[in-house]
A = this chain, B = another copy of it.
Amino acid sequence: MRQTITIKDVALRAGCGVATVSRVLNNSGSTSVDMQQRVQAAADMLGFEFSEVGRSLQSSTTRTIGCVVPSLANPVYADAVQGAQEYFQAAGYQTLLVCTNYDTEFETQAIRTLTAKQVDGFVLTVSDTIFSEGLKSIKSRGIPHCLLFSMASDDEQSWSVDDLSAASRVSDAFVEKGHIDVGFLALKFKSSDRARQRYQGFVLGCHRNGMKKPALLEINEDSQELTSFLKDFLQKNPTLTGIFASNDFLALATIRSARALGLNVPGDLSIVGFDGIEVGTMVEPSLATIVTDPKMMGRGAARTVLSVINGTSAPVLPDPKLTFSFRAGGSLAFPAAERADDEKAATLSPSNNPTNKNDKIQQERLK
């Protein structure tokens, strides 16, 4: 078992040379009808399938694309990967997937491995465009690639949301509802281009709108619990009326934590998210957020890579202004006159807090 049938077996059975089998089965070169039938019959009988490995060696092309993303737990990446994979599939390319878990060491290693596997191209979300070893090596080797949700340099394309403008738009939404003093909440701030971009855009927007410079609450991955961090944060910033979370999962978790602290959302604290994942419309109050289209981004990146591979002209990137839109939601409203008493929060039963196990799962999600 498991011994594969090669073109030689077919040739032997059909009583011809391997070249003829190749020609018949690939419809290349000229062959007689008689021979076509004999070869076809032999191939069918043996259940022959070409080995892509042999082909790849000969053609020095693998029809495989490496796809590197931080994680699939975040639906943004999951959708993007799905979009890219579908596009590649339709074009006859396979997708080699790697999740880096936001680990740059891993990222470098993964890119090296995929390069050795001779992928024809890459679609990647790197944690840091400038310092990525892997990206550097891809460029130096001249392997076709396209970035996804990452900042591009001049000589390459990137399909990504205009984080700067989108975050700035969020500040508009806050100021429209009368907020002056709001904060920014991010997980893995250090290792994410995106979170930094969003913060930067938010700071600029707040400044432009005459608001206070937003305070930054950064959670590192081994923080035990969002709720207690949030509590500290709010105590340090007593006049804060809103929080912009750097992604929707974080925003939903923040709503939950705020409630656990006895706060009313949006009365005591307004929350705005980023990404526009669909459950945001199902919760009560619905989540105000920036809506994006990750699947389209994934497809776009796939198109770009294939265009580089085929030497056709690259697709035009979407207008940055159209890479996102703001979705109003019940989680953002005019602030109440006064925030609920903090004492109340302190007396809240601990049983309202999420269990340890759930918290662990949640932490993975939030990345």
Residue numbers of A with Cβ under 8 A of B are: 1-2, 4, 47, 49-54, 56-57, 60, 62, 64, 67, 71-73, 75, 78-79, 81-82, 85-86, 89, 94-99, 101, 110, 112-118, 140-143, 249, 252-253, 255-256, 259, 278-279, 281-284, 354, 358, 361-362, 365
Which single member of B49, B73, B97, B278 contacts A361 (CB below 8 Å)? B278
A81 to B82 alpha-carbon distance, docked (Å) = 12
Cβ contact within 8 Å between A94 and B98:
yes
Cβ contact within 8 Å between A142 and B1:
yes
Cβ contact within 8 Å between B97 and A81:
yes
Cβ contact within 8 Å between B89 and A78:
no
Which single member of B75, B81, B95, B98 contacts A89 (CB below 8 Å)? B98
Q: Taking each of A60, A72, A143, which has the highest tally of chain B beta carbons within 10 Å of its own beta carbon?
A: A72
Cβ contact within 8 Å between B99 and A97:
no
A129 to B367 alpha-carbon distance, docked (Å) = 35
Cβ contact within 8 Å between A94 and B94:
no
A143 to B49 alpha-carbon distance, docked (Å) = 14
- Which chain B residues lie closer than 8 Å to A89 at the CB level? 98, 110
Cβ contact within 8 Å between A362 and B278:
yes
Which single member of B82, B143, B278, B354 contacts A99 (CB below 8 Å)? B82
Q: How near does chain B come to A133, taking the closest CB pair, in angstroms?
A: 13
A53 to B354 alpha-carbon distance, docked (Å) = 49
Contact A57 to B49, CB < 8 A, known contacts A279-B279, A358-B281: no
- Which chain B residues lie closer than 8 Å to A73 at the CB level? 75, 78-79, 82
Cβ contact within 8 Å between B281 and A143:
no
Cβ contact within 8 Å between B86 and A78:
no
Which single member of B47, B49, B113 contacts A94 (CB below 8 Å)? B113
Cβ contact within 8 Å between A71 and B82:
yes
A53 to B115 alpha-carbon distance, docked (Å) = 11
Cβ contact within 8 Å between A53 and B62:
yes
- Which chain B residues lie closer than 8 Å to A110 at the CB level? 89
Cβ contact within 8 Å between B53 and A118:
yes
A115 to B110 alpha-carbon distance, docked (Å) = 23
Q: Taking each of A113, A115, A279, which has the highest tally of chain B beta carbons within 10 Å of its own beta carbon?
A: A279
- Which chain B residues lie closer than 8 Å to A67 at the CB level? 97
Closest B-chain residue to A110, C-beta based? B89
